[in-house]
Structure 1
């Protein structure tokens, strides 16, 4: 399946451009999944089938006009303020090829004032250090090492080393849109109480059954409508707020006000990929920021292209990790903030229903992207549902095991005082 982006001069206007996703092959005959932009602004995704001899741009433009009418905002957002100085933290481990691709995109950002930090997590070779020192250090990319395994520990190392007022985080398997960082950081300049901003994550490739299945059932996409979460005005459509942190965004595309993130202790080092907890580091940070009284916003203007894992085994590991990370982060929240236990217990009945729903077998698909990508033809297997639920049962134990390993750990910015 081809993946690309189509820019239109208005929904009923002409085609400005059609190009493949960054680094991908040209859009040709067959099924195509494209991001639709209106004069550069992301507004939705559509599926189209291109026949031999068809004009791909016109076919996909027709699909966009037919599928996206209800998804397009009436007016473009107001011009964003100048973003504050920002630090980009990329945690990595033994993936120099993917890291190079990510760094190339990060060095092309239109943000006026930013730095890039690569955090090498528990390295076993010098491949990452060599890559950065030979090819990127002269361009201003900084290299630091975090010996404690785990994504949260690596992120905390980045928090300690960063110099920016805003701390942005992404993964080594993404390609960032040129306007990603400025779109992610600019909202902080206009709202002093904003603690976190998340952005849009789209698939860079859809070439294997595992990649297509994941994206058919939502992937990492949170939609194309901006959302704002204020702890003083809980959203009516979020009965589990603030414990449905997964609705806020994902760790491959997030930014925090540095002072706010440091004030809540940063990321819990007993969560995240690379620990027995298997995940939940981003969810923990989102929830802690909101519980501390800060606002959180989601903006689709801040876009990264994510390289989904390719194999069935990868998808199985991901399903189990999602389940484990969910309950691990909830355990972490209560372990770190016991006073939140009554609020969490009050939401347990709805929480269980929500957990069962998101891990249920979905015979007809449950797409969350415009265009009903994957409905009916890509059912979510019962085996993956079972793995998610097994992960949910394991999550609290995994967190407790991980916490035992990092017992006595204090945030690096505190120990440096």
Structure 2
């Protein structure tokens, strides 16, 4: 525990647990895993074996924090008579004990704790907020008003003094998105931008043109932001003045279906990187190739670019992303272009968002196909821009094939199930179609290479 400040300090209000997020009526008798957001400064919760909707809860997946700082995740089975706080504490100790003991001593608190002085983590956040830079948060969306409203609610609740929200309505067929934005704008600075050209990259580029010289933080409409998301982005920007991109962590908002569980098992959005900060750039090439794995550090659902960086790499490629034959990975190509041109990407695991994965098997299969297609398409676009990169990519190919066969996430962090083999095959089929999909997308975009 930290010391040095008076006992008059009081901790800030806690975040609302993810368990309160809206749910739909289940169709199965079991809930694969309940998602918890646990701060050790508060009393540990008990987890009933039966969910309020009658489903049997099999496991509890918990994000573990200390004074709002994310430290890691744990997974624990829920017994027939429910999970007691002491058992949850034992599971946390087993997985994260080495990280917690230097902060808490030998005894992990079950009933919460009140520090005598303000923790260093919160002191630093308070210092950053005192000189917080203005940030424009961008949501590109198309015909998902319900999800957009939920995302906007989380953004309007940010503990951050200087930001606006820009919603880019991509090729709408009606007024639903505009209505959601008008409603949200009554509670805060929410701006609306229409982009009639279909495609996520077109929407992203419209936002860049709309906000020249601004820090751009991107979030998807099927996510919610942690209350301290922007504050932690600002922390990373201040700690790393040379960073071009800040990448946060995107965690599951729920694990209520087997499809959602399988998505996390395949790597989710975090891809096994965990909660250790990292810097990727010119000094890290001996440890991490800028070409593979892509991206080992970032996802378009939680990324922040400093002013001018996107323009410097030639904007987002309109032959990639949702709404194109390639379907995905415009963010992947952008990250790679930043790195191979000498830029720096900072992985900031305290900047959290929570993603609502697709609930059904067909939706997961579509994601596997689109990600495989988009990844191969992004490499195709990269090689067309820089033909000499074909040789280092060929040298990395055996490593890539081995990793595709095993995939990412450790047993202790993610619920396990028999991952359907046909989903891996769908991912590989998508990869095979990627190059031709990219070329079709280029023809449709009628955009020469930059």
Q: So what's the TM-score if we normalise by structure 1?
A: 0.86
State the structure with more CA Rg. 2
Q: Which residue of 2 aligns with 1:414?
A: none
Mapped contact 1:200–1:299 kept (Cα < 8 A): yes
Residue 279 of structure 2: which of 214, 225, 228 is its match? 228
Residue 179 of structure 1: which of 228, 248, 253 is its match? 228
Structure 1 pair 277–130 and aligned structure 2 pair: CA distance change class (3 A): same
Q: Which residue of 1 aligns with 2:375?
A: 326
CA distance in 2, matches of 1:232, 1:212: 36
Structure 1 pair 110–235 and aligned structure 2 pair: CA distance change class (3 A): farther
Mapped contact 1:42–1:224 kept (Cα < 8 A): yes
Report Cα offsets for 1:141-161 as digits up to 9, x if no partner.
Answer: 001111111111111111111
Mapped contact 2:73–2:413 kept (Cα < 8 A): no
Mapped contact 1:45–1:369 kept (Cα < 8 A): no
Q: Which residue of 2 aligns with 1:371?
A: 412
Q: Which residue of 2 aligns with 1:415?
A: none
RMSD of aligned Cα (Å) = 2.7
Secondary structure of the 1:328 match is helix
Q: Which residue of 2 aligns with 1:380?
A: 419
Mapped contact 1:98–1:173 kept (Cα < 8 A): yes
Secondary structure of the 1:246 match is coil
Residue 156 of structure 2: which of 107, 122, 126 is its match? 107
1:229-268 residue pairs with structure 2 within 5 A?
Answer: 229-236=280-287, 238=288, 240-268=289-317
Paired residue total: 391
Structure 1 pair 354–120 and aligned structure 2 pair: CA distance change class (3 A): farther
CA distance in 2, matches of 1:233, 1:381: 36
Gaps of 5+ in 2: 1-32, 104-119
Question: Is 1:216 the equivalent of 2:255?
Answer: no
CA distance in 2, matches of 1:332, 1:202: 29
Residue 125 of structure 1: which of 160, 174, 194 is its match? 174
Offset of 1:220 from its aligned partner? Answer: 0.9
Question: Is 1:199 the equivalent of 2:248?
Answer: yes
Structure 1 pair 228–110 and aligned structure 2 pair: CA distance change class (3 A): same
CA distance in 2, matches of 1:215, 1:379: 13
1:80-119 residue pairs with structure 2 within 5 A?
Answer: 80=125, 81=128, 82-119=131-168
Question: Is 1:309 the equivalent of 2:358?
Answer: yes
CA distance in 2, matches of 1:392, 1:367: 18
Q: Which residue of 1 aligns with 2:440?
A: 401
Q: Which residue of 2 aligns with 1:69?
A: 97
Q: Which residue of 2 aligns with 1:32?
A: 60
CA distance in 1, matches of 2:57, 2:304: 38
CA distance in 1, matches of 2:325, 2:337: 21
Residue 85 of structure 2: which of 54, 57, 72 is its match? 57
Secondary structure of the 2:198 match is coil
Secondary structure of the 2:168 match is strand
CA distance in 2, matches of 1:369, 1:306: 20
Offset of 1:359 from its aligned partner? Answer: 3.2
Q: Name which of structure 1's ranges 53-62 and 159-168 shifts more when overlaid on structure 2.
A: 53-62
Q: Which residue of 2 aligns with 1:5?
A: 37
Gaps of 5+ in 1: 10-14, 412-417
Q: Which residue of 2 aligns with 1:134?
A: 183
Mapped contact 2:44–2:89 kept (Cα < 8 A): no
Mapped contact 1:284–1:333 kept (Cα < 8 A): yes
